[in-house]
Amino acid sequence: MHDIGKKMNEDYPMAMPEKSENKVYYPSICLDANKVPELKNVQVGQSIQLVVKGVIKRKSINESDNRKAFDVDVEVRQVGSVQSKKFDSKAIEGVAKSYG
C-alpha cells in the first residue's frame, strides 16, 4: 500500500498560509453506496480498505523549477471492500481476482 497524501509546502511550489503548510491533502473518490452496499453501515471517520479496478486514461509529467510530478488518471471501474485487519499483497490479489 502507498500513502498518497501530499503536503502543500513539499509538493506544490506556491505560497501557502503558514497553518496549511504541513497539512496533508489526499485525493478522494465518491461512491454510490447502492453500488457498493458494504459501505452503507460504515461510520464517517472510520477507516476502510478498498480494492479498486480501473483503467489508466492519461499520464502526464509536470515540471517546474523545484518539482517534477508524474500524474496518472484512473477511471475507476469496480470497487470492493476488504473486511480484514491484515491487508497484504496476497489479500489484494485474492480480492481483486474475485472482482474479475
pLDDT tens by residue, 13-60: 555 555 556 788 888 888 888 888 888 888 999 988 888 889 999 999
Contact 25, 5 (CB under 8 A): yes
Q: Tens digit of pLDDT for each residue in 46-96?
A: 988 888 889 999 999 888 777 787 888 999 998 888 764 445 556 666 665
Picking from 71, 35, 78, the residue whose alpha carbon sits closest to that of residue 55 is: 78
* Alpha-carbon gap, residue 27 to 5, rounded angstroms: 7
Q: How far apart are CA 90 and CA 88, in angstroms?
A: 6
DSSP 33: T
What the block records as the C-alpha cell of 100 is 474479475
Can you give the pTM of this predicted structure?
Answer: 0.57
- What pLDDT sits at residue 85? 46
* Parallel, antiparallel or unpaired: strands 24-25 and 6-7: antiparallel
